[in-house]
Chain A
Amino acid sequence: DVQMTQSPSNLAASPGESVSINCKASKSIGKYLAWYQQKPGKANKLLIYSGSTLQSGTPSRFSGSGSGTDFTLTIRNLEPEDFGLYYCQQHNEYPLTFGSGTKLEIK
């Protein structure tokens, strides 16, 4: 199985700031990484797939980069609604696997 190591586990930032979340795969997954946002009481939301392709409706302040084993989700100019949990997921091979999550909190 491809192990996904996500860091940091917790992150505190203020609105207007930029943050980065990292995801490292235990072997090359090409460009096949997705990012999701999870918030209480809401359905999980796909933000980015194939490493850097924004899902329809994802604000442009979100961006994804990386390939092979190392990937980054960057959120620029944080908005209050961006706070929550973020997960990466490799979609290169079965079994599909997720990172352990990053909790983004308001400082």
Chain B
Amino acid sequence: QVTLKESGPGILQPSHTLSLTCSFSGFSLSTYGMGVSWIRQPSGKGLEWLASIWWNDDTYNNPSLKSRLTVSKDTSNNQAFLKVTSVDTADTATYYCTHTLPANWFAYWGQGTLVTVSS
């Protein structure tokens, strides 16, 4: 059974760096073909894919966020991480992590963590 859970700061100030953790079970990021992706959703709006990291350490980022994103993993502890630098109010959203399969569909989702950027 695959489960994922996101954790984050809840609220942070503009210009700061957002750090998110995805803790998961039921699969390993050291297993061929496994991936974790990050997706966000501002309240009342649609879904935006942010980044993916794969079993072989390949990473892909959404170019719309330019170079603000860093995705990483800790295979031994079944965790993945997302950092977003220089946040502003437009980064306020619920952030989800997902179990991603090689053809890039999102098989399982966490419940999401709400991040509010406010001074």
- Nearest CB of chain A from residue B63's CB, rounded to whole Å: 6
Chief secondary structure at chain A's binding surface? loop
In Å, the complex CA distance between A36 and B106 comes to: 9
Is B49 an interface position by the 8 A CB rule? yes
Is B103 an interface position by the 8 A CB rule? yes
Contact A95 B106 (CB under 8 A): no
* Besides A1-B64, A36-B106, 19 new A-B residue pairs in contact (Cβ under 8 A), listed by A number: A32-B103, A34-B105, A43-B109, A44-B96, A44-B106, A45-B109, A49-B105, A50-B105, A87-B47, A89-B49, A89-B105, A91-B103, A92-B104, A95-B49, A95-B64, A96-B49, A96-B104, A98-B48, A101-B47
Which B residues form the contact surface with A (CB < 8 A)? 37, 46-49, 52, 60, 62-64, 96, 103-111
